[in-house]
Amino acid sequence: MCFLKYDKLIVLIYVKIISNGGYNMHYKTVKGILSNDNTMNLYRGCQHGCIYCDSRSKCYHFEHDFEDIEVKENALSLLENGLKHKRKKCMIQMGSMCDPYMPLEKELKHVQKALELIEQYHFGVTLITKSDLILRDLELLKKINQQTKCVVQMTLTTFDENLCQKLEPGVCTTQRRIEVLKELHKNGIPTIVWLTPILPFINDSQENILKILEECHEAGVKGIICFGMGVTLREGSRENYYKQLDRLFPGMKEKYQMTYNDQYTLNSPHNRDLMNLFFKKCQEYQMMCNYLEIFEYLQEFEEKTPIKKKDIHDFEQLSLFGALNNRVL
């Protein structure tokens, strides 16, 4: 435990180190939380176990096991300080590196607290996740979307539930994610789907793409991001992916090595036909499919409810984390 001085109040905070429930985690004090383009990751590492995960690549310089989650213990105070001093409102993005709604978030609630700060200071937000845990924060997301803009991004890779459990074993399957997308749409939250990666010889079938696009249309998805029908592999992620192929799809690793050698981009042999199908169906369903236009939409801040001067004063009075510049005793 530690004591934080807040004006004349002494706030007792219990820092809970979780080692039960299958969680491996540790805390780290960081120097910053928001990047220059206003993205942030409250956690480093992931518990979802997706076999193709690019974040395992050595270029990201993980100094700990990927499943040993690094929790940025001062992230919320840094976030509040950053939001208070930004001259211009903007969209805050979470999840570009690691899924914010991994299982330990259910207990730590750091994402929930970050959303409360984003709503309090009238910023917009967009999150990338595969988890249905996001529905826990539905009311918060609705509040943000009522005053600015909230966009939820969700990854879908396969319509086959059994295959999904192999590829993404630590998170809810595609059918549940579709239900989440429908619930978000019902509550007025715009959604974007990442149709990636499409793994050569595994989920690169016309049937798979058609079913995913059909479900996205029925769920009211606004747009779909797809860079191509394939996967990217580099040092670190490649070794892990091939290890998982040996375990789940015997003989597949050798097929990859013969077909692609050590290429970074591994396009499906059906890439051209599947991309033509993708663009055709997106146009038919009136879903955005130009990823540059989608990125522009995600970064565009909207102010639906103008902030009042009284609100700004109230924020300063009610702020807890803003006072954490005081010395830790």
pLDDT band for 307, please (50, 70, 90 cuts): low
Phi, psi dihedral angles at 242 (to 5 degrees): -65, -35
d(CA 221, CA 213): 9
What distances in angstroms separate CA 89 from CA 98, 140, 149, one per listed residue? Answer: 24, 18, 11
Contacts of 259 by beta carbon, 8 Å cutoff, 6+ apart:
200, 266
Mean pLDDT of the chain: 88
d(CA 226, CA 195): 5
d(CA 8, CA 267): 61
User: CB atoms < 10 A from the CB of 163, how many?
Assistant: 18
Examine the pLDDT at 317 and tell me if it is beyond 50.
Answer: no
Q: Residues 215-235: what's their mean pLDDT?
A: 98
C-alpha torsion sign, points 128, 45, 263, 243: negative
Examine the pLDDT at 17 and tell me if it is beyond 50.
Answer: no
d(CA 47, CA 22): 10
Domain boundaries, the chain: 24-61+71-321
Q: What is the pLDDT of residue 329?
A: 30
Examine the pLDDT at 320 and tell me if it is beyond 50.
Answer: no
pLDDT band for 308, please (50, 70, 90 cuts): low
Q: What is the pLDDT of residue 241?
A: 97
pLDDT band for 316, please (50, 70, 90 cuts): very low
Q: Residues 276-287: what's their mean pLDDT?
A: 98
Q: What percent of the chain has pLDDT over 70?
A: 86
Q: What is the pLDDT of residue 22?
A: 58
Q: Does 3.20.20.70 match the CATH number of domain 24-61+71-321?
A: yes
Q: Residues 303-321: what's their mean pLDDT?
A: 53
Determine the Cα angle at 294 with ends 290 and 300, to 5°. 150
Examine the pLDDT at 193 and tell me if it is beyond 80.
Answer: yes
Examine the pLDDT at 277 and tell me if it is beyond 70.
Answer: yes
Q: Residues 120-127: what's their mean pLDDT?
A: 98
Instruction: Give the CA diameter of the chain.
Output: 68
Q: Residues 176-196: what's their mean pLDDT?
A: 98
Examine the pLDDT at 269 and tell me if it is beyond 80.
Answer: yes
Tell me the pLDDT tens digit for each residue of 35-72.
999 999 999 999 999 999 999 999 988 888 989 999 99
Residue with tokens 């700004």: 312
43-44 and 68-72: which strand pairing? antiparallel
Q: Residues 164-188: what's their mean pLDDT?
A: 98
pLDDT band for 11, please (50, 70, 90 cuts): very low
**Token output for 286:** 């009136």
Q: Which residue has the higher pLDDT, 5 or 213?
A: 213
Q: What is the pLDDT of residue 96?
A: 86
